[in-house]
Amino acid sequence: MILVTGCAGFIGSNFVHTWLSQHDEPVVNLDKLTYAGNLDNLSSLANDPRLVFVQGDIGDRALVDKLLADHQPRAILNFAAESHVDRSIHGPGDFIQTNVVGTFNLLESVRAYWSALPAAEQAAFRFLHVSTDEVYGTLAPQDPPFAETNPFEPNSPYAASKASSDHLVRAWHHTYGLPVLTTNCSNNYGPFHFPEKLIPLVILNALAGKPLPIYGDGQQVRDWLFVTDHCHAIARVLEAGRIGETYNIGGWNEKANLDVVNTICARLDQLRPRADGKPYAEQITFVKDRLGHDRRYAIDARKIERELGWRPKETFESGIEKTVQWYLDHPEWVQGVTSGEYRKWIGKQYG
Ligand code: NAD
Ligand code: DAU
């Protein structure tokens, strides 16, 4: 079986759905269930015998040691992290604790487990670390996209904590021989995306008649990838990636934030027109910029394409269509995640 950490978050839960739709191999899931972890994301799998869920922290050595001993996974996929840049600006402590110290503790548990495996199982074992393009810093408009060889120049506390975790993973391979793989992906979007992030926030605010907050001039560029494409890429890296290598994953979909928001508004105008017949784009509001806001991210995904034959299936247009429709079709999920703690965050960030 495989062990997935952060399985109740956005990408982790999509990965579990994608994996179980294609494999019979069971999945042990470990998640602390922070504000971002939501078991509703896995509710359709609640009675699936291939799924085991354990609530806990990746940094809890005793718990992780026991999990590994009990389930003997052949691979660990580490999705667990604090993931929202704006929260890292308000309070970086949790990011250091989970992304740096948590990853360190997880690596130590895994090293002890892996070292004691019989030779054949040791050779087949993999630790796959899921990371971000934000470790590379920011690009000017004419710069080539981030390649795996770009230096790390993280700019936010979130990016710095992820860069630190990537370095730890790299060092555990070079020093101890742990068979690791690292993926650095661009911005994901799709079902189960927590609405503190731009795309789901804009969909839900639009429908609720609230302002659509654009930081600064809205000309910051992100490279968007539909989450299922990311999940397929991770499965492919696990299957055939070269040990110790990093693979950049991206959608070849660079878009300015304002264009993304206008695209969402146009889809909503068609799928769920406003009662007054006016366009949703009227709700766009320019607000104070994010501190240290990175101007542009873009991924050069040629290595994973060349070595592993992966390419994204969705275009931005097809992915956004599916995403907007998913949020329209899942009002109970939306209601579940937008109560309580979420409201506090929105008040703190947007006033
Ligand atoms: P998310 O915030 O939606 O989910 C994170 C999950 O990790 C949650 O379920 C949370 O409960 C869990 N978690 C947090 N701290 C934990 C801990 N100490 N122990 C165990 N579980 C813990 O994040 P996401 O968007 O799904 O991102 C998943 C991973 O992918 C992260 O490592 C992130 O850096 C990376 N990533 C995200 C994106 C993106 O666009 N969202 C892009 C590239 C890479
Ligand atoms: O690049 C990969 C990263 O993408 C991941 O590592 C992160 O975990 C993930 O959260 C995401 O980071 P971003 O900061 O790019 O995503 P976010 O959705 O927060 O913001 C996208 C862009 O939209 C960014 O330029 C900031 C802007 N924005 C965001 C919000 C929440 C706004 O203009 N207004 C907003 O209200």
Q: What domains are defined for the chain?
A: 2-188+226-252+293-313 (3.40.50.720)
279-296 confidence digits (pLDDT tens): 999 999 999 999 999 999
Residue burial 64-86, b: 16+ Cβ < 10 Å; e: rest? beebbeeeebebbbbbbbbbbbb
Ligand 1 pocket, residue 254 CB under 6 Å: no
Q: Are 223 and 297 in contact (CB under 8 A)?
A: yes
Point out which residues pair with 296 in neighbouring strands: 221
Q: Is 158 a catalytic residue?
A: yes
pLDDT recorded at residue 301: 98
Distance CA 11, CA 81 (A): 11
Q: Are 310 and 233 in contact (CB under 8 A)?
A: yes
Q: What is the position in ligand 2's atom list of the atom closest to the CA of 294?
A: 25
SS3 state of residue 340: coil
Q: Compute the distance from residue 85 Cα to the ligand 2 centre, in Å.
A: 7
Pocket test residue of 3, 7, 11 for ligand 1, highest count of atoms within 8 A of CB? 11
Q: Compute the distance from residue 324 Cα to the ligand 2 centre, in Å.
A: 17
pLDDT recorded at residue 344: 86
Ligand 1 pocket, residue 34 CB under 6 Å: yes
Pocket test residue of 34, 135, 168, 297 for ligand 1, highest count of atoms within 8 A of CB? 34
pLDDT in tens, the chain (351 residues): 999 999 999 999 999 999 999 999 999 999 999 999 999 999 999 999 999 999 999 999 999 999 999 999 999 999 999 999 999 999 999 999 999 999 999 999 999 999 999 999 999 999 999 999 999 999 999 999 999 999 999 999 999 999 999 999 999 999 999 999 999 999 999 999 999 999 999 999 999 999 999 999 999 999 999 999 999 999 999 999 999 999 999 999 999 999 999 999 999 999 999 999 999 999 999 999 999 999 999 999 999 999 999 999 999 999 999 999 999 999 999 999 998 788 889 889 998
Ligand 1 pocket, residue 36 CB under 6 Å: yes
Distance CA 37, CA 83 (A): 11
SS3 state of residue 207: helix
pLDDT recorded at residue 351: 81
Residue closest to 232 by CA, chosen among 165, 324, 125, 305: 305
Q: Is 134 a catalytic residue?
A: yes
Pocket test residue of 3, 5, 10, 248 for ligand 1, highest count of atoms within 8 A of CB? 10
What's the per-residue H, E or C state across 19-68? Answer: HHHHCCCCEEEEECCCCCCCHHHHHHHCCCCCEEEEECCCCCHHHHHHHH
Q: Which amino acid is at 18?
A: T
Rounded to 5°, the CA angle 72-106-186 comes to 105
Q: Which ligand is nearest to the CA of 128?
A: 1
Give the number of C-alpha atoms closer than 13 A to the C-alpha of residue 219, restricted to the C-beta side: 4
SS3 state of residue 266: helix
Q: Compute the distance from residue 198 Cα to the ligand 2 centre, in Å.
A: 6
Q: One of 134, 166, 196, 254 is an active-site residue; which one?
A: 134
Q: One of 31, 57, 133, 254 is an active-site residue; which one?
A: 133
Q: Which ligand is nearest to the CA of 104?
A: 1
Q: Compute the distance from residue 115 Cα to the ligand 1 centre, in Å.
A: 27
pLDDT recorded at residue 341: 84
Q: Are 42 and 16 in contact (CB under 8 A)?
A: yes
Residue closest to 212 by CA, chosen among 253, 276, 262, 255: 262
Pocket of ligand 2 (CB under 6 A): 83-85, 132-134, 186-187, 197-198, 201, 213-215, 220, 222, 257, 290, 297
Q: What is the position in ligand 2's atom list of the atom closest to the CA of 83?
A: 8
pLDDT recorded at residue 343: 87
pLDDT recorded at residue 90: 97
Distance (Å) of CA 10 to CA 22, 31, 36: 19, 12, 8
Q: Compute the distance from residue 86 Cα to the ligand 2 centre, in Å.
A: 8
Q: Compute the distance from residue 79 Cα to the ligand 1 centre, in Å.
A: 5
